Amino acid sequence: MSRCIRGGLVVALLAALAQMPAYAMSNTTNTSAFTRGVQTAEQGVDRADGRYTQNGTAITLGQPNFRARPATPEAMAREFLAERHAQLGLDADAHASLVRASERVGRNVSVVRFEQRQQGLRVYGSDIAISVAPNGKVVYVANAAVEGVKPVNIIADKSQADALAIGRQYLGMVSTSHEKAERMVYVANGQTHLVWRLELVAEDGLRGDWEVLIDAHSGAVLRAEDRAAYDNGNGTIWLPDPLSQDLATYNDPGYTDGNNADTPQLTGALRPVVLENLVNSGGYILEGPYAVCQDFDTPHDAGCPSPQASSDFSVTRSAMTFDAVMGYFHISNYLKYVNVTLGVPAMPINHPGGVHFDPHGFGGADNSQFSSSGENLTFGQGGVDDAQDADVIIHELGHGIHFFVTDGHLSQTEGLSEGVGDYNAGAYSRDFPGQWTPSDAPYFWTFSWDGHNPFWPGRVTNY
């Protein structure tokens, strides 16, 4: 890390952060900086026959209390719709536009799915599934009908090729392994739009199975969501470092670097964590929407785990991959907080996906950095390995966030970026429970495990 400090101009960056626009985001598993226009589904309220929205539209009916005349599954389902369409939020025109999307016929129960149409085009998100028995009894209804669909100009100003180019540019995709476009009708915030619904999968770079809705008249990106399924993994790390967790001091028995050796104390300080959204491509690796472990700097070693069959990356600190697990968790945890919880878009500008980091770099020296040219993080190994201290990880990430939110205009004037890094590191590590109080000197330390020891004196936040 860069080890100069000139104090307190971080307030300017915080003020800028507070004024930045936030995209509407849902609490979906795959929410990232590219997610846009994805709203959280209404949970609804329970009634005797099912679950309803606040305005009285059925979401699910577990006891529909309806029996159609025995016929084909579709005919019986349509008889239910003819009588109950208002209960599902459909007016007469919307009901008349329903098209069977699929049918699964079973011996005891058949499921018929319907979609809405507007001026012959599919209505995005519309889906009504009706489960019916051979005797005509409707046993279950799942309703995602779209209300408020209005006529729209269906002559697109943007071509399919235009829409695909806009989608690729928005996601930062240079080339794709899969792409598809379809004209649809989309309703959002009371407005009906003609859109191109895109499917985009990158050939390299940004991961994910992306669905993007492009306004077919203006070219605006109205909605973007990664619809791929990912797996969570497990790991063992320090939260944020062994000394702060255990209220210990460097050189207390068992609390020394010891050339990366395990001790009962250091192992006892490990905590289990969930590693969210790991890539599984022929094996699990430490790559996700916010952090990507890469070996791009010397020494070239096995610091980033090779693809493995298990999603469990739990190791002790003497293992070569421990630093990578620390880096993946803390970078992902903090960037998700900034992008999703705070709603501040702060991701690499010049490459898609998460922040690339090398847990063993700098030729093994005792230093770390954020590179504005590569937009990546490099952690050295002299003294205490830098990636074993969350303060170092978040300090360097703080430089990156400063770079991202200023569109590449990171400034070291008056120590601004150093102050940003230290502020982020100190605020992040203090959030973990059971640590020092303001009456303790280490409460004001940054780099509590990496510094304040024989290797270097560290820094303080009450300078």
| pLDDT for res 15 | 37
Element (H, E) at 90: none
- Residues in CB range of 375: below 8 A, 6 or more apart: 348, 349, 350, 351, 355, 356, 400, 403
Residues of the chain by 3-state class (helix, strand, coil), percent to 5:
25, 25, 50
The pair of structure tokens assigned to 257 is 């670097």
Instruction: Look at residue 187 in the predicted model and tell me its pLDDT.
Output: 97
**Model confidence at 405, in pLDDT bands (50, 70, 90)?**
confident
Q: Name the band, by pLDDT with cuts 50, 70 and 90, for residue 121.
A: very high
Distance (Å, whole) CA 265 – CA 164: 55
Residue 229 — pLDDT band, cuts 50, 70, 90? low
Strands (E), 7-152: 45-46, 50-52, 58-61, 99-104, 110-115, 117-118, 121-122, 127-132, 138-144
Which contiguous run of DSSP H or E holds residue 64? none
Arithmetic mean of pLDDT, 105-113: 90
| Whether 254 contacts 265, CB under 8 Å | yes
CA distance 377 to 445: 22
On the question of pLDDT at 28 being above 80, the answer is no
For the purposes of burial, counting CB atoms within 10 Å of the CB of 423, is it exposed (0-12), middle (13-18) or buried (19 or more)?
buried
CB 74 within 8 A of CB 112: yes
Mean pLDDT of the chain: 89
**Alpha-carbon gap, residue 449 to 442, rounded angstroms:** 11
Supply the pLDDT for residue 5.
Answer: 32
Q: Which residue has the tokens 């979401």?
A: 59
160-212 pLDDT, tens digit per residue, is: 999 999 999 999 898 998 999 999 999 999 999 999 999 998 887 777 889 99
The separation between CA 449 and the C-alpha centre of its own chain, rounded to angstroms, equals 29
DSSP summary character for residue 292: E
Percent of the chain with pLDDT over 70: 93
Q: Are the C-beta atoms of 197 and 181 separated by less than 8 Å?
A: yes
- What average pLDDT does range 103-107 have in this prediction? 88
**According to the model, what pLDDT value does residue 279 have?**
86
Higher pLDDT, 12 or 266: 266
Residue 165, classed as helix, strand or coil, is helix
Report residue 14's pLDDT band, with 50, 70 and 90 as the boundaries.
very low
Task: Specify the residue for token string 């239910």.
Answer: 80
- pLDDT per position as a tens digit, 364-399: 888 899 998 889 999 999 999 999 999 999 999 999
> DSSP letter at 94?
H
Query: Token digits for 35?
Result: 């997610």
Amino acid at 379: F
What angle (nearest 5°) sits at the alpha carbon of residue 431, between those of residues 427 and 432?
135
Q: 202, 352 in Cβ contact below 8 A?
A: yes
pTM: 0.65
Residue found under tokens 């101009």: 9
Q: Which of the residue ranges 19-23, 51-55, 156-160 would you say has the lowest mean pLDDT?
A: 19-23
pLDDT band at 342 (very low <50, low <70, confident <90, very high): confident
Secondary structure of residue 226 in the 3-state scheme: strand
Tally of helices (H runs) and strands (E runs) in the chain:
9, 23
Q: Which residues contact 389 (CB under 8 A, 6 or more apart)?
A: 240, 241, 447, 448, 449, 450
Residues 6+ apart with CB under 8 A from 175: 202, 203, 204
pLDDT at 7: 30
Q: What structural domains does the chain harbor?
A: 45-144 (no CATH), 151-226 (3.10.450.40), 230-460 (3.10.170.10)
- How many residues are listed for the chain in this entry? 463
Average pLDDT over residues 304-327: 95
Per DSSP, the residues of 9-46 read THHHHHHHHHHS--------TT--TT-BS-PPPP--EE
User: Across the beta sheet with 284-285, what order do the strands follow?
Assistant: 284-285, 271-280, 231-237, 312-313
Q: Given the structure tokens 């096995």, which residue do they identify?
A: 302
Q: Are the C-beta atoms of 407 and 349 separated by less than 8 Å?
A: yes
Give me the mean pLDDT over the 345-353 stretch: 85
Average pLDDT over residues 123-136: 95
